[in-house]
């Protein structure tokens, strides 16, 4: 994959100006995304459909279970990229930038991959490490997430200081905090996915993680360290961003769960709430090289098209009634979104 310009500027945003008569004008910023990339466009449509339908359930859940403080954020995400414009073969949108937004997360993932892949590709033997802890009920989730984030920070800090004193190597890598929901046990499993630069770092992490945890909270065998051979795939694994949207009802029978997944809205909402203010993705022990690509400055366009999202048509529509992506969801996705939504279980 060829690195492309990155940072928030790669998203491509716009603002329309007051219009008089037939003159119209918009200010665009950033590079936008390629209108000719049909696959990416269909992916965007699919994410928009999933996101919008999830947000309606999230708002519903907020009202039912008394977490109104999240309601506004969910509505913002519902409206994310409701309107987009196309100009000079590129797409520009308005982004909600929320963590629970599948559209914005997809952008963030692409951005992280572009920025970190060149660095990680230069590491001699990258290792993928999974650090887990015993699953907990909802009421303990936030505490545990805060604790393990602090624990991880301390491990990195200890080795950084030792390294400064000339004793051993520091730890260097990227990590993400994630949690999935187990509907059978009604528990959450906060865990880290980490890529470090070599085996020694991976072994240190696993050893420290196990030794520092309270007895019974971590199982040695559940802490994994594996050599990475496909850097891009490993990074994608790390930047899944937070949680899965569709969960197998029986986590032990993943293989048989095709088409049986459920969207556990209340549980997802709990995970997002627990992660509030915590860094989901982080790097440690190294800095990224300065971006060589200059961000595109704001500029005015007069020749552009307006598109509005129409959920009933699963697509963005212009004033002539034309569709932008021509995306049609599969029957199984529609069924999942319509029938496999649980707003109660947590
Ligand atoms: Zn968004």
The predicted-structure confidence for 187-224, as pLDDT tens digits, reads as follows: 999 999 999 999 999 999 999 999 999 888 888 888 89
Instruction: Say whether pLDDT at 9 is over 70.
Output: no
Distance 36 CA to ligand 1 centre (A): 22
Distance 102 CA to ligand 1 centre (A): 7
Residue 289 lies in a domain: no
User: Residue 13's closest CA among 98, 114, 100, 81?
Assistant: 81
Instruction: Say whether pLDDT at 319 is over 50.
Output: yes
Instruction: Say whether pLDDT at 255 is over 60.
Output: no
Instruction: Say whether pLDDT at 52 is over 90.
Output: yes
Among candidate residues 234, 259, 284, the one where a domain is terminated: 284
Residue 261 lies in a domain: yes
Residue 277 lies in a domain: yes
Same-domain pairing of 49 and 119: no
Same-domain pairing of 272 and 134: yes
Distance 98 CA to ligand 1 centre (A): 6
Residue 2 lies in a domain: no
Same-domain pairing of 25 and 158: no
Domain that holds residue 146: 112-284
Query: pLDDT grade, residue 61 (50/70/90)?
Result: confident
Taking the C-alpha atoms of residue 78 and residue 61, their distance in angstroms, rounded to an integer, is 14
Determine the pLDDT at residue 247: 83
Instruction: Say whether pLDDT at 263 is over 80.
Output: yes
Residue 3 lies in a domain: no
Mean pLDDT of the chain: 88
Residue 212 lies in a domain: yes
Same-domain pairing of 27 and 96: yes
Return phi, psi of residue 315, to 5°. Answer: -160, 165
Determine the pLDDT at residue 237: 86
Determine the pLDDT at residue 2: 36
Number of compact structural domains in the chain: 2
Query: pLDDT grade, residue 4 (50/70/90)?
Result: very low
Same-domain pairing of 167 and 270: yes
Determine the pLDDT at residue 31: 85
Distance 342 CA to ligand 1 centre (A): 23
Average pLDDT over residues 296-303: 86
Distance 279 CA to ligand 1 centre (A): 18
């Amino acid at each position: 994959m060829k690195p492309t310009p990155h940072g928030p500027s790669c998203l491509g945003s716009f603002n329309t100006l007051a219009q008089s008569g037939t003159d119209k004008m918009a200010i665009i910023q950033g590079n936008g995304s390629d209108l000719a990339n049909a696959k990416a466009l269909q992916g965007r449509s699919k994410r928009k459909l999933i996101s919008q339908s999830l947000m309606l359930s999230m708002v519903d859940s907020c009202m039912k279970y008394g977490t109104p403080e999240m309601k506004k954020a969910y509505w913002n995400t519902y409206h994310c990229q409701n309107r987009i414009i196309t100009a000079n073969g590129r797409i520009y949108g308005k982004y909600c930038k929320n963590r629970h937004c599948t559209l914005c997360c997809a952008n963030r993932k692409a951005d992280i991959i572009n920025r970190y892949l060149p660095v990680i590709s230069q590491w001699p033997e990258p290792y993928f490490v999974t650090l887990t802890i015993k699953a907990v009920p909802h009421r303990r989730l936030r505490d545990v997430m805060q604790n393990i984030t602090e624990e991880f920070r301390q491990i990195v800090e200890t080795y950084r200081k030792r390294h400064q004193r000339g004793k051993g190597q520091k730890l260097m890598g990227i990590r993400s905090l994630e949690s999935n929901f187990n509907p059978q046990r009604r528990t959450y499993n906060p865990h880290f996915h980490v890529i470090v630069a070599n085996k020694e770092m991976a072994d240190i992490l696993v050893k420290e993680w196990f030794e520092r945890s309270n007895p019974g909270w971590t199982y040695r065998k559940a802490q994994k360290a594996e050599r990475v051979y496909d850097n891009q795939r490993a990074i994608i694994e790390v930047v899944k961003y937070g949680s899965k949207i569709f969960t197998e009802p029986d986590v032990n029978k993943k293989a048989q769960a095709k088409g049986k997944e459920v969207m556990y809205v209340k549980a997802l909402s709990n995970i997002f709430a627990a992660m509030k203010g915590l860094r989901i993705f982080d790097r440690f022990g190294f800095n990224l090289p300065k971006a060589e690509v200059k961000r595109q400055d704001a500029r005015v366009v007069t020749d552009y098209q307006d598109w509005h999202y129409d959920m009933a048509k699963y697509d963005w529509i212009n004033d002539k009634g034309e569709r932008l992506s021509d995306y049609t969801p599969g029957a199984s996705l529609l069924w999942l979104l319509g029938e496999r939504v649980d707003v109660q279980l947590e």
